[in-house]
Structure 1
Amino acid sequence: MPGTAARPPAPAARASRGRTALLTGAVTAVAYLALLGWDQVKTVTPDGSATGPYEAWQVVVLVLVLAGTAAVAGWHRRTWVATLTMTVVLTLCWSYDAATDPADLNDGLWPVGALLVLIGTFVGAAVVAGVAAAVARRRARGGPVLSTTPGAGS
């Protein structure tokens, strides 16, 4: 309606968003620290090149934990709160970890890695949470979540 100002969100909605931000931020930080934060040792191969410090399983488990967290938040229709919180928290954790590496392990390219973490986390969390929110909306309307019949549920 013309001339009407948007109403501020109800206190319950603000509290729910705050809880979502707190929970997704805490899960993200704890998962990072438990899976990647402790592993600081790079492996030097016989040819002198360094790999790591993370093993593939550590990154895969972190991605699965974050995807599950984004899915739950999306299911509860808190897609953007969770996406932004997870992105900021993971990027800050990773950036601090990378920027404070000893000089012999820090090649100065950590800002590039931080940008990639930021983009990857944002896109991944937004897609997972968005899909979960769409499925939740579809189920709430009583429509099929997935259909093998062409045109069904559209």
Structure 2
Amino acid sequence: MSNGMMRPLLRMLPALVPAVVAPVAWAVWLGWDRQRDVRPDGTTTGPYQAWQVIGLVLTLLVAVCWAAARRHPASVVLGTTAGLTAAAWYDWSDDSTGLFAIGVGLVMLGGLAATAAVCGAVALVRGTRPAAGAER
């Protein structure tokens, strides 16, 4: 491929990487777990354990920081949020009550807020760091 053809693809990477990583990470960390745990008192929890959600968050954190460091925060936020929302919708849409839509909405809002906060933090860190070789 010529350099001219690669340039648009390279510009799309900060949005595409998180948009692809989010549903793949969801499938790896959460998608396989369907069983709810029954406590001795009869109540149920789950299906996800805390370590699964922490793993998903840490995986997404790496992808979001990488993409945000390329200075395209809007595409990072939208790509990650779209990927998470699509994964949650696909995973939970078999719920017969229809209440899964509320959960998907909360995932969307949480993903949007968290990704925007991480992008803001990355921008702050990158903005305050002196350029390589610069003297103070």
TM-score by length of 2: 0.83
In 2, distance between residues paired with 1:13 and 1:50?
51
> Given that residues 25 and 56 in structure 2 are in contact (C-alpha distance below 8 angstroms), is that contact kept between their aligned partners in structure 1?
yes
Deviation, 1:139, is: 2.2
The residue type paired with residue 134 of structure 1 is L
Specify the SS of the correspondent of 2:124: helix
Coordinate RMSD, CA, aligned: 2.3
After superposition, the Cα gap between the structure-2 partners of 1:122 and 1:11, relative to the gap in structure 1 and judged at 3 Å, is farther
Deviation, 1:13, is: 6.2
Aligned to 2:98: 108
In 1, distance between residues paired with 2:13 and 2:28?
22
Aligned to 2:89: 95
Specify the SS of the correspondent of 1:47: coil
Specify the SS of the correspondent of 2:129: helix
Specify the SS of the correspondent of 2:41: coil
Moved more, 79-88 or 69-78: 69-78
Deviations along 1:110-148, one digit per CA (max 9) or x if unpaired, are 111111100110010111012112221332557xxxxxx
The residue type paired with residue 123 of structure 1 is A
Q: Which has the higher helix share?
A: 2
Q: How many residues align?
A: 130
Larger Rg: 1
Structure 1 segment 80-91 matched on structure 2, within 5 A: 80-91=74-85
Q: Does 1:58 align with 2:52?
A: yes
Q: Does 1:130 align with 2:125?
A: no
**Structure 2: which 5+ residue stretches go unaligned?**
none
Identity %: 36
